[in-house]
Every structure is written in C-alpha cells, then in structure tokens.
C-alpha cells in the first residue's frame, strides 16, 4: 500500500484543534484502492504536536505516531513515515 496526502492545511488557530490529512491510497500494483481516505491526524496538546498515521507503511518496526515541538516537524514525520517529500 502507498498513500499520498492531497491536502496540506495550515496549523489550526486553536491549540486543541485536530488536523486531518486526507489523500488517496494505492495498492502494491499502483491501482487506486481508496480515495479521500483519512491518512493521518495532527493535534496540538500541551505545546507539542502529536502525529498519528492511520495507514500502515508495510515496514517492520516503523513507528506510526509520536510528537514534535512544531507543526512542520510533525507533518514531516508523517511524510517520512509515508516515504513522501517534506517541506
């Protein structure tokens, strides 16, 4: 499976808001498996950004959640888990 995020939202204005990262999921043959699927969430609680990827990347030992001090770092962790480019 491979997932591609198609929305890159700005950080929310309220600390307790949750950001949903949605995109398309493709099977190993490259065929569309699901469209507009919830891929990951980013939430700001107690000054850190918590990230959680809901789509497995198929790599043993991969960690699909964590926390970072900034929104951009958390977003980059999601992209790294999905093997996508970061900003």
Using one digit for the tens of pLDDT, what is the confidence trace for 33-60?
999 999 999 998 878 999 999 987 777 7
Count of domains forming the chain = 1
pLDDT band of 15, cuts 50, 70, 90 = low
Q: What are phi and psi of 37, to 5 degrees?
A: -90, 145
Which alpha helices (H) appear in 1-86, and where do they start and end?
A: 71-81
- For residue 24, being part of any structural domain is answered with yes
* Residue with more model confidence, 2 or 48: 48
User: What percentage of the chain has pLDDT greater than the value 90?
Assistant: 41
- For residue 77, being part of any structural domain is answered with yes
Specify the pLDDT at position 87. 40
Contact 43, 18 (CB under 8 A): yes
Contact 55, 1 (CB under 8 A): yes
What range does the domain containing 47 cover?
A: 2-81
Specify the pLDDT at position 52. 96
- For residue 58, being part of any structural domain is answered with yes
| Residue whose tokens read 């980059």 | 76
- For residue 48, being part of any structural domain is answered with yes
What is the DSSP secondary-structure string of 60-79?
TT---EEEESSHHHHHHHHH
Q: What is the token pair recorded at 48?
A: 């850190």
- For residue 87, being part of any structural domain is answered with no
Residue 86 has pLDDT above 60, yes or no: no
């Amino acid at each position: 499976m491979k997932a591609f995020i198609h929305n890159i939202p700005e950080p929310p204005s309220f600390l307790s808001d949750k950001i949903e990262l949605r995109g398309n999921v493709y099977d190993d043959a490259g065929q569309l498996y699901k469209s507009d699927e919830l891929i990951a969430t980013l939430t700001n609680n107690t000054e850190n950004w918590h990230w959680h990827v809901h789509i497995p990347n198929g790599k043993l030992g991969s960690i699909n959640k964590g926390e970072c001090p900034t929104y951009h770092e958390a977003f980059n962790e999601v992209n790294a888990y999905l093997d996508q480019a970061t900003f």
